[in-house]
């Protein structure tokens, strides 16, 4: 199991976490994913490292990639942390400002390492940590893997699978909630969203800027139109 460290600008990791949390939110009666996935691996140039953060729900899913200036790692490492914790971490990281010179250290350990705290009764409490952040000499975040059995891995895999198989297609129906989440994403460096139907007629692929790729679950047009076609006029064809 890999155990890797890297440095990153806090605002860049904050934006990637924020995007994952936004994508993973609950939608009406449909639960979102309670985890976000953080990975560190070789970047697309094969020379430098890259951090990718995934968030998914039944409505929408996507990944935000931050390209680093550090040498590419020889291994791949990933960890899931709770969605609510990810939201707290991105808020903390924003408090460090946006200066390019400001950096934090991140450690992802798939096996985990033990830390010892002392409880209110003075007795030692051992915790296993899989994801930590340091600012200078201070450890500011220590979290355990939130999905040790990998129950949600297939949801994150779908983002990679469908964003690499986009093809042209016919008309597409989206919910306003899906559009709102796309426009809420941060740090993408883009003013345009590129959309394409995939080989799956129920999945739309999207790209926004060089570092974000995502997928959308589409509205079933026949179901939306209704058995009597009462809302057929809402649709193009």
- What pLDDT score does 191 carry? 87
- On whether the CB atoms of residues 16 and 51 are closer than 8 A, the answer is yes
Mean pLDDT in runs of 10 for the chain (237 residues)?
94 98 88 96 93 94 94 95 98 94 96 89 90 96 96 94 72 85 91 87 90 90 88 82
Query: The CATH number of the domain where 81 resides is what?
Result: 3.10.150.10
CA angle 7, 157, 27 (to 5 degrees): 95
Residue 169 pLDDT: 65
What pLDDT sits at residue 233?
A: 86
Cα gap 40→49, rounded to integer Å: 7
Confidence (pLDDT) at 128: 95
The confidence score (pLDDT) of residue 167 equals 64
Q: What are phi and psi of 108, to 5 degrees?
A: -120, 120
Give how many domains the chain has, as a whole number: 1
Residue 166 is predicted with a pLDDT of: 62
Q: Are strands 35-42 and 3-8 parallel, antiparallel or unpaired?
A: unpaired
Its domain, for residue 17, covers 3-234
């Amino acid at each position: 199991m890999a155990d890797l460290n890297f440095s990153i600008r806090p605002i860049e990791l904050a934006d990637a976490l924020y995007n994952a949390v936004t994508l993973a939110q609950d939608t009406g009666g449909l639960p979102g994913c309670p985890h976000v996935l953080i990975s560190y691996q070789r970047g697309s140039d094969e020379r430098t490292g890259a951090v990718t953060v995934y968030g998914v729900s039944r409505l929408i899913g996507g990944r935000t990639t931050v390209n680093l200036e550090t040498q590419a790692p020889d291994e791949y490492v990933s960890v899931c942390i709770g969605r609510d914790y990810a939201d707290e971490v991105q808020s903390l990281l924003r408090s460090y400002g946006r200066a390019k010179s400001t950096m934090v250290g991140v450690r992802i350990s798939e096996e985990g390492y033990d830390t010892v705290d002392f409880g209110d009764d003075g007795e030692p409490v051992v915790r296993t940590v899989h994801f930590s952040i340091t600012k200078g000499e201070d450890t500011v975040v220590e979290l355990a893997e939130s999905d040790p059995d990998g129950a949600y891995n297939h949801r994150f895999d779908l983002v990679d699978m469908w964003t690499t198989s986009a093809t042209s297609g016919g008309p597409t129906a989206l919910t306003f909630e899906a559009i709102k989440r796309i426009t809420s994403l941060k740090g993408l460096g883009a003013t345009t969203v590129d959309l394409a139907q995939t080989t799956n007629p129920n999945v739309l692929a999207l790209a926004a800027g060089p570092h974000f790729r995502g997928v959308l679950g589409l509205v079933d047009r026949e179901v939306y139109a209704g058995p009597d076609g009462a809302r057929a006029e809402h649709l193009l064809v």
